[in-house]
Amino acid sequence: MSKGKRVKVKKEGEDKVEIAPWRPEQYMGEMDKMFEDFARRFESLFSPFTSSWPVPRRRWLELPEIRRAYADLIDAGKEYRVLAEVPGIPKENLDVTVTPREIKIEGVVKTDIQEEKEGFLRRERGYSKVMRVLAFLEDVIPDKAEATLNNGVLDVRIPKKTPTEVSKHKVAVKYR
């Protein structure tokens, strides 16, 4: 069955219904227009002056970038191991919180570069935040968690309350 909208086609006194082919690019284009219109209207709420003189943009509307740290959650039987990518974040700016059911990793990178050379001034500032929350399938012991940072990779080991035995089963791969 093809997706599409119904179109009535009249032929010599009878009504016949045909289904027009579904073209996703048409619908996606309409969705793009709808979101652009929404963004334009939302922005107009915060700029009441529409005259030709420049109105300063409200900086409080622009939020800092929050990135989602790439992470692996590994069940190692007696413990969970979390490997999270946090490049450029020093250990002083990392906050790792472990509860019996989840781990929360937060980190902040702030840069402030000021350089002066022969009448030339270069000043750059940046702010970025990394955050990730992962849930455990079993309860862990938060007090015994250990974390190390090596080359931008955070390695956290959290022992389980009741270790489970990891059973291995070799699966034969067949060709089709």
- Does pLDDT of 80 surpass 90? yes
CA quadruple 23, 26, 27, 33: dihedral, nearest 10: 170
Pick the CATH number of 63-159 from 2.40.50.1070, 2.130.10.10, 2.30.30.90, 2.60.40.790: 2.60.40.790
Say what the pLDDT of residue 53 is.
45
- Does pLDDT of 54 surpass 60? no
How far is CA 69 from each of CA 41, 43, 63, 86, 150, rounded to the nearest angstrom?
33, 30, 18, 6, 15
Say what the pLDDT of residue 20 is.
63
Q: Write out the two tokens for 11.
A: 């032929």
Q: Write out the two tokens for 119.
A: 């009448």
State mean pLDDT over 74-93: 90
Say what the pLDDT of residue 25 is.
63
State mean pLDDT over 116-126: 82
Q: Which residue has the tokens 């009504």?
A: 15
Q: Report the predicted TM-score, pTM, of the whole model to 2 decimal places.
A: 0.55
What are the residue ranges spanned by the domains of the chain? 6-45, 63-159
* Run of H or E including 65: strand 65-68
Over the chain, what is the mean pLDDT?
A: 77
How many CB atoms neighbour CB 164 within 10 A? 11
